[in-house]
């Protein structure tokens, strides 16, 4: 049995590890486009910031660790085409020669590529000019090379999503003045505007010059650096002179290889797979950022996340060996640290819930992370979304200080969502309590109780009057 995985990031490696774990007799080859298998892409901002002291530390496992599992790695090897009928993968070797790898089962994890927005002048500019996209280890080395060479005083970041925010922090930590430009009305557009505003304040507090409702339209090279022009949604002109531009406005699935082999695509152009990670092409599985995401509340969507890629890769690895397991689905659980704030979400926001056919109601509470009498208590802003008809919990968004255990509190909601709990039902959960770390009703429950009080108390009272 010969299993070939394409991709050295989360999906490919996860599939290969699981296959080797389940059946140590399987011959596993992983084809990796660069020299950096199993690197933590999510860790790049912390290498740029200087908190990770060497780029090699970003590896989840070393090359030697991976080979010790019995898998074979072919680095700097480009997967060029799949012969589905012949079960053969054509690759280009590091030396430029072509090669063919035969397989019994193939798992494709080609991942995603960064989106290049339509900015005038962008096509002519690149790392040598101090203009960067950031996705791979190659991009990372190009950026650190620029940082060392240019020694920028001022940088402009296009985009204020997860990576944009982490990079604003990372560059600020390096002593660089950061301007951040976000097209949408608020930073961290994956959460409600009222919560994103708290992150906006945190950025401002740390000296980041944030422009929302603003688009970068043109970048030109000057004698001293880069001139960036843009405008607000009101049509007001904007201009900055900076030394470095970083463009982090999201990713799109890298589907070229699979589409040429005949795979179908779905939402956002990602390759369609079923919950077993089957592509529909015989003996070809796919997982990670190149494929659609099965979401437990939204159905088939596209939501590329490392956690999801790990799970999908694992499922693909099992099924390639003949098992029949299904990916249980994403809830879009995410968390980001921005300076001393942590923001997290799971499930749906109001507009997403409406689109999915629910009738969402929301409520925001600000319970303390632990009993106020014990030193250091801080409020957590928690927005709960539930369904008006069924009372079902649909989503939760949380923002609070680092140390307020935001990231694990969102996990309680994620686990509740997994089991389709009602908002009311959250009160039944037996959660932990000690005054330095929580409350008899945890903040998680105080927030759902606020929702119930706002949206269901009248109904509860009506039931009571009927009963008595």
Ranges within 343-402 binding a second copy (CB under 8 A): 344, 346, 371-375, 402
Q: How many Å apart are CA 389 and CA 321, to the nearest integer?
A: 43
Radius of gyration from C-alpha coordinates of the chain: 24
Q: Residues 424, 448: contact at Cβ < 8 Å?
A: yes
- Beta strands, E only, 93-153: 98-102, 105-108, 112-114, 131-133
Asked if residue 430 binds a second copy (CB under 8 A), the reply is yes
Q: Which is nearer to a second copy, 190 or 231 (CB)?
A: 190
Asked if residue 324 binds a second copy (CB under 8 A), the reply is yes
> What count of other Cβ atoms lies within 10 Å of the Cβ of residue 435?
13
CB 410 → a second copy: shortest distance, Å? 5
Q: Which residues, 93 to 152, sit near a second copy by CB under 8 A? A: none
Asked if residue 416 binds a second copy (CB under 8 A), the reply is yes
Q: How many residues bind a second copy (CB under 8 A)?
A: 82
Asked if residue 444 binds a second copy (CB under 8 A), the reply is yes
CB 201 → a second copy: shortest distance, Å? 20
Q: Which helix (H) or strand (E) holds 247?
A: strand 244-247
In this structure, the chain runs to a length of: 468
Q: Residues 283, 87: contact at Cβ < 8 Å?
A: yes
Q: How many Å apart are CA 196 and CA 334, to the nearest integer?
A: 14
CB 431 → a second copy: shortest distance, Å? 5
CB 415 → a second copy: shortest distance, Å? 4
Q: How many Å apart are CA 228 and CA 156, to the nearest integer?
A: 8
Asked if residue 278 binds a second copy (CB under 8 A), the reply is no
Q: Which residues, 26 to 45, sit near a second copy by CB under 8 A? A: 40, 42-43
Residues paired with residue 120 on neighbouring β-strands, in sequence order: 218
Name which position in 8, 164, 253, 332 contacts a second copy (CB under 8 A). 332
Task: Tokens for 462, please give them.
Answer: 């009506």
Name which position in 159, 442, 447, 451 contacts a second copy (CB under 8 A). 442
Q: Which residue reads 């790990």 in tokens?
A: 310
Question: Which range of residues in 29-37, 136-144, 239-247, 432-440 is near a second copy by CB under 8 A?
Answer: 432-440
Name which position in 74, 135, 200, 310 contacts a second copy (CB under 8 A). 310
Q: Which residues, 58 to 97, sit near a second copy by CB under 8 A? A: 58, 60
Asked if residue 414 binds a second copy (CB under 8 A), the reply is yes
Asked if residue 191 binds a second copy (CB under 8 A), the reply is no
Question: Which range of residues in 87-95, 148-156, 180-188, 306-314 is near a second copy by CB under 8 A?
Answer: 306-314
CB 10 → a second copy: shortest distance, Å? 7
**Among 100, 104, 103, which Cα is nearest to 77's?**
100
CA distances from 287 to 186, 268, 434 (A): 32, 15, 41
Q: Which is nearer to a second copy, 257 or 343 (CB)?
A: 343
Q: Which is nearer to a second copy, 336 or 363 (CB)?
A: 336
Asked if residue 331 binds a second copy (CB under 8 A), the reply is yes
Question: Which range of residues in 51-59, 65-73, 121-129, 188-196 is near a second copy by CB under 8 A?
Answer: 51-59
Question: Which range of residues in 105-113, 243-251, 268-276, 425-433 is near a second copy by CB under 8 A?
Answer: 425-433
Task: Tokens for 410, please give them.
Answer: 């969102």
Q: How many Å apart are CA 20 and CA 313, to the nearest integer?
A: 13
Strand 27-31, strand 72-74: pairing: parallel
Task: Tokens for 395, please give them.
Answer: 């989503």
Name which position in 256, 429, 454, 455 contacts a second copy (CB under 8 A). 429
**Among 33, 16, 29, 35, which Cα is nearest to 110's?**
33
Half-sphere exposure of 76 (CA within 13 A, CB side): 7
Q: Which is nearer to a second copy, 174 or 218 (CB)?
A: 174
Asked if residue 459 binds a second copy (CB under 8 A), the reply is no
């Amino acid at each position: 049995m010969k299993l070939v995985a394409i991709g050295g990031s989360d999906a490919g490696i996860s599939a290969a590890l699981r296959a080797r774990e389940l059946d140590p007799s399987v011959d596993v080859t992983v084809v990796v486009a660069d020299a950096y298998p199993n690197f933590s892409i999510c860790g790049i901002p912390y290498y740029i910031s200087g908190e990770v002291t060497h780029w090699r530390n970003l590896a989840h496992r070393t090359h030697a660790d991976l080979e010790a599992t019995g898998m074979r790695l072919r680095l700097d090897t480009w997967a060029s085409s799949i012969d589905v009928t012949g079960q053969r993968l054509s690759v280009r070797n590091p030396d430029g020669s072509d090669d063919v790898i035969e397989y019994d089962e193939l798992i494709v994890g080609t991942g995603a590529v960064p989106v290049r927005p339509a900015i005038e002048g962008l096509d002519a500019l690149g790392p040598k000019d101090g203009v960067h996209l950031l996705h791979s280890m190659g991009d990372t080395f190009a950026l650190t090379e620029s940082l060392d060479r240019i020694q920028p005083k001022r940088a402009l970041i296009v985009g204020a999503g997860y990576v944009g925010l982490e990079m604003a922090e990372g560059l600020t930590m390096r002593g660089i003045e950061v301007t951040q430009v976000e097209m949408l009305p608020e930073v961290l557009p994956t959460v409600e505007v009222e919560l994103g505003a708290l992150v906006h304040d945190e950025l401002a507090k740390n000296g980041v010059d944030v422009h929302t409702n603003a688009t970068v339209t043109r970048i030109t090279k000057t004698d001293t650096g880069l001139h960036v022009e843009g405008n607000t949604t009101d049509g007001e002109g904007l201009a900055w002179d900076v030394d470095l531009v970083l463009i982090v406005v999201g990713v799109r699935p890298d589907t070229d290889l699979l589409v040429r082999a005949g795979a179908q695509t779905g939402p956002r152009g990602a390759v369609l797979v079923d919950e077993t990670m089957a592509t529909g092409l015989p003996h070809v599985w796919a997982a990670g950022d190149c494929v659609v995401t099965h979401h437990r509340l939204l159905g088939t969507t596209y939501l590329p996340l490392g956690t999801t890629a790990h799970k999908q890769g694992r499922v693909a690895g099992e099924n390639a060996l003949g098992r029949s397991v299904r990916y249980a689905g994403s809830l879009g659980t995410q968390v980001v640290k921005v300076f001393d704030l942590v923001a997290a979400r799971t499930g749906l926001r109001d507009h997403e819930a409406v689109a999915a056919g629910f009738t969402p109601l929301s409520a925001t509470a600000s319970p303390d992370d632990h009993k106020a009498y014990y030193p250091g208590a801080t409020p957590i802003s928690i927005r709960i979304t539930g369904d008006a008809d069924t009372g079902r919990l649909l989503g939760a968004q949380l923002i609070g200080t680092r140390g307020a255990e935001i990231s694990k509190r969102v996990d309680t909601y994620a686990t509740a969502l997994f089991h389709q709990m009602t908002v009311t039902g959250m009160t039944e959960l037996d959660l932990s309590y000690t005054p330095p770390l929580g409350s008899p009703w945890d903040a998680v429950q105080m927030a759902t109780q606020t929702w119930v009080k706002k949206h269901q108390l009248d109904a509860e009272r009506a039931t009571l009057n009927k009963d008595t």
